[in-house]
Amino acid sequence: MKQWISLVLCACLAVSLCGLPAYAADDRIEVTEDISVSADYDWTRFAGKNVTLNVYNWGEYISNGSDESVDVVSAFEQLTGIRLNYTTFDSNETMYAKIKSGAANYDVIVPSDYMVAKMAAEGMLAELDLENIPNLALIDEEYKNRDFDPGNRYSVPYMWCTTGIIYNTTMVETAPQRWADLWNEEYAGSILMFNNSRDAYAIGAFKLGQSINPDTVEEMAAVMDELKAQKPLVQAYVMDEIFDKMEGGEAAVGVYYSGDAITMIDDNPDLAWVFPEEGVNLSIDNLCVPATSQNREAAEMFINYLCEVDVGVANCDFIGYSTPSSAVREQLDEELSESPIAYPADEVLANAQVFTNLSDEINDELDVQWSEMKSYNEGGNAYAMLFLLAAGVLLAGFNIWRKLRKKMRNDY
């Protein structure tokens, strides 16, 4: 009987403890002097359980305490008692290859729009339990429910940016206005293009007024022909090398992402940015949980944490990309929150297109044509291979002949 009473008492105690607000009247928990998070969330449920989250993010894509920034990573560890194992990648495709190979186990990844669609279609993403991510409400409607993930079943927007043209005002007579200007002889030899097939394709598609997500191979071939025609004018196909080349005045006109353009213009005030008239590519990077994750709930907690206003502000300050949350934008320095590059006018965004996943057939064909375009200035494909085979056979024949001759000599 006594046991029963004590059990009931224990139960009452437990219920009353749970019922009590874990944190007093103030609805914010101050983690560090820069970061306080909503108290209306059970942040500590994994404390002391020795949980480690493997986070796989783009390089330089979180405020991690370097350059005297706010360290949101250690603040999360302090808040929740969850350890973060943070690693980085440099392209969606690298990240995809690593997850696909199954060689590594991650809990939170940050794919871009089209990669979310691709991974979701292949069953590589876990469906999110939005109950655990109440801060999704802080994200603006226009970044939710996009074609690549209707209803945000798999992804929560993290950052976004657009593409556009960056140019050196001292090196061009007339400023570029449109994507089509990248085919202008005036800039011959000083144009920098994207060295990745999807982004480069989008530019050709905008010029022709087509969708940046081709449905048919014919549609794609037309755009690739444009890129081939542009090749003699292009100085180089680059990715991050563009920072040095634009800042150093090596090239006059380049195409890149708005978030990075802000950094470049900071370093070289001669540079200017333009949103081409034909439209821009709006690219949204998203927080997702891979299907193989063993700590989904903790991963969702981390995603929720990244959506907190203070954390978002720290990240935006550090990264320079645009936030999908108005609440975060309002807290930013005016220089950044009112930047016409980071937050373009509505008419620019009205014209923006977002990447979606392409079918395997189109993806394959895109890569074939892309590499063909890049090796295009040398003709005679079929003959070249024949020449190669002939050279190989000749070489082998010569070897055999030498061996035979040597053997005959030795026989004497």
Site for another protein, rule CB under 8 A: 91, 93-94, 96-97, 100, 189, 195-198, 231, 234-238, 241, 244-245, 248-250, 363-364, 366-368, 370-372, 374-375, 377-388, 392, 395-396, 398-399, 402-403
Q: How far is the CB of 58 from another protein (least distance, A)?
A: 15
Between 28 and 374, CB nearer to another protein? 374
Burial of 207 (0-12, 13-18, 19+ CB in 10 A): buried
Computed on alpha carbons and rounded to an integer, the radius of gyration of the chain in Å comes to 27
Between 52 and 371, CB nearer to another protein? 371
DSSP sequence for 189-205:
T-EEEESSHHHHHHHHH
Between 14 and 368, CB nearer to another protein? 368
- Token pair in block for residue 179: 């994507």
Q: How far is the CB of 278 from another protein (least distance, A)?
A: 23
Q: Per this entry, what is the length of the chain?
A: 412
Q: How far is the CB of 92 from another protein (least distance, A)?
A: 9
Q: How far is the CB of 139 from another protein (least distance, A)?
A: 28
Instruction: Return the SS3 of 184.
Output: coil
Q: How far is the CB of 176 from another protein (least distance, A)?
A: 19
Between 40 and 367, CB nearer to another protein? 367
- Token pair in block for residue 44: 């500590």
Which segments within 190-297 are labelled E, that is strand? 191-194, 234-238, 253-257, 271-274, 282-288
Q: How far is the CB of 201 from another protein (least distance, A)?
A: 9
Between 23 and 398, CB nearer to another protein? 398
Q: How far is the CB of 195 from another protein (least distance, A)?
A: 4
Beta partners for residue 191, in sequence order: 234, 253
Between 96 and 321, CB nearer to another protein? 96
Instruction: Return the SS3 of 374.
Output: helix
Block residue for tokens 């990309």: 321
- 50, 63 contact by CB (below 8 A): no
Between 7 and 386, CB nearer to another protein? 386
Burial of 35 (0-12, 13-18, 19+ CB in 10 A): buried
